[in-house]
Amino acid sequence: METIHTIEWMKQVARAWRTEGCLVGFVPTMGALHEGHLSLVRAAQKQTRPLVVSVFVNPKQFGPQEDFEKYPRQIEADRALLEQLGVDCLFAPVAREMYPDGFRTHVSVEGLSDRLEGRARPGHFRGVATVVLKLLEIVQPRFAYLGRKDAQQARIIRQMVADLNLDTEIVVCPIVREPDGLAMSSRNAYLTAKERQAATVLYRALDAARREIESGERDAARLVARMRQIIGAEPLASPDYIEIVDAETLEPVVGLRGRCLALLAVFVGATRLIDNLLVEQRDDECVVSL
């Protein structure tokens, strides 16, 4: 596996692949890799070759009071994992390479970025869209793979790619969970033992909503109330938001129809975790994906 730290060399390698007609795949990450990331790698390897994985903790998507400095960084362990999986290239630039002195251009996806995570974390999605556009332009992949745990982020990136006529197709892959249901996340490492046990409340709330939906409930307010009740019963958990929205517009819905997302952001101790479930109406059937 080749490790590349500079934009210019990554672009030269990408140009050579395109000249050879390669179907390049790409998995963008902030490192501290876990099975959720590795599932994206495996999905990409089924469709593409060569495969590039980026590891870059993007300062532009962290607010002033957020966890940029303490965000887990373990580049050597990440490199070893990717090498074991047969990844072709690790792109690991430093911040000054991506944002040199004088950098002043940013990308905003209006309408989708100002609510939910965007409301809770002002400027977050501007940082995400900016870095993802840069990475897609540098690597020039045919397919890029994202996880559905960050559902709003995936929706925003799909919109950016469509609006800017990029040649990359975005593939959104299922959430990967621990045996007790907790969605895998690099931030899970922040949790104490008691907090880790309490964090399962996100999954328990979503699973309760799933059971209600599968029993015929379609009223969004009642489903939100049920999830809020379960989270409220956990002393170590404090909800930031609990909403059910249209999966395309991210606007709140009154009743479930088409494709909807139930989205949670919950503080467990000082750690903020997110999770979601996807509801898809197919003919007369409602399919729920956790």
Question: For the chain, where are the alpha helices, taking DSSP H only?
Answer: 7-19, 35-47, 75-84, 95-98, 117-120, 124-139, 151-163, 193-198, 201-214, 220-232
Here the tokens at position 232 are: 């409220």
Residues counted in the chain: 290
Here the tokens at position 156 are: 């925003």
Decide: helix, strand or coil at residue 271: strand
Task: Kindly state the DSSP code that residue 32 receives in the 8-state scheme.
Answer: S
In the set 5, 34, 37, 124, the catalytic residue is 37
Q: Check if the beta carbon of residue 90 is closer than 8 Å to that of residue 2.
A: yes
Beta bridge partners of 186: none
Q: Does residue 124 have an active-site annotation?
A: no
Round to whole Å and give the CA distance between 262 and 246: 9
**Residues with Cβ within 8 Å of residue 150, at least 6 apart in sequence:** 274
Residue 147 vs residues 5, 41, 94, 105, 216: alpha-carbon distances, Å: 24, 11, 23, 26, 28
Q: Give catalytic residues, as residue numbers.
A: 37
